[in-house]
């Protein structure tokens, strides 16, 4: 079963850099910006994370929380978070539960070889836990500003 636009999302449990026992219910009453990215400390992912960081206070002012998700470990996330000075939690989805629920695992072509990887995607979840917007196959330039406009 996948997340469906304009429907409540499933209350999945996950581990973040701030809390090893978290679920979507912990954010009820807040707008959630859930963004999936392929890998910590890679060029596009670093730019995207820093873009979210740079507009973080504006997201907070709109009563939104930002959650970054990749398949990297919490240890990798901690280093990435420190290196980029990220003020928001990162989710380790090493078992790909969130990735599959939000249907972001796609076939990619890496150096001529087909691999399954995370399709850069962002999801906007409202205060009641309903999926309201999705951006798939995201191109980094301008994306975070576009998400912020939709949150405001």
Q: Which of 115, 99, 30, 42 is nearest to 66 (CA)?
A: 30
Q: Catalytic annotation on 99?
A: no
Give the length of the chain: 152
End-to-end CA distance of the chain: 30
Q: Which of 141, 145, 142, 125 is nearest to 133 (CA)?
A: 125
Tell me how far the alpha carbon of residue 45 is from its chain's centroid. 11
Q: Which of 45, 84, 99, 149 is catalytic?
A: 45
The catalytic site residues sit at: 45
């Amino acid at each position: 079963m996948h997340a469906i636009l304009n429907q409540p999302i499933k209350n999945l449990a996950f581990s973040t850099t701030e809390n090893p026992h978290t679920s979507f219910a912990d954010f009820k009453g807040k707008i959630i910006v859930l963004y999936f990215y392929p890998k910590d400390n890679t060029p596009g992912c670093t730019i995207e994370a820093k873009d979210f960081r740079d507009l973080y206070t504006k997201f907070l002012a709109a009563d939104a929380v930002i959650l970054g998700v990749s398949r990297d470990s919490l240890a990798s996330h901690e280093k990435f978070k420190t290196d980029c000075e990220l003020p928001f939690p990162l989710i380790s989805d090493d078992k790909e539960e969130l990735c599959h629920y939000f249907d972001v695992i796609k076939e990619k072509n890496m150096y001529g070889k087909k691999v399954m990887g995370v399709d850069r995607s962002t999801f906007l979840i409202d205060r009641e836990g309903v999926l309201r917007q999705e951006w798939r196959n995201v191109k980094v330039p301008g994306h975070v500003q576009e998400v912020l406009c939709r949150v405001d």
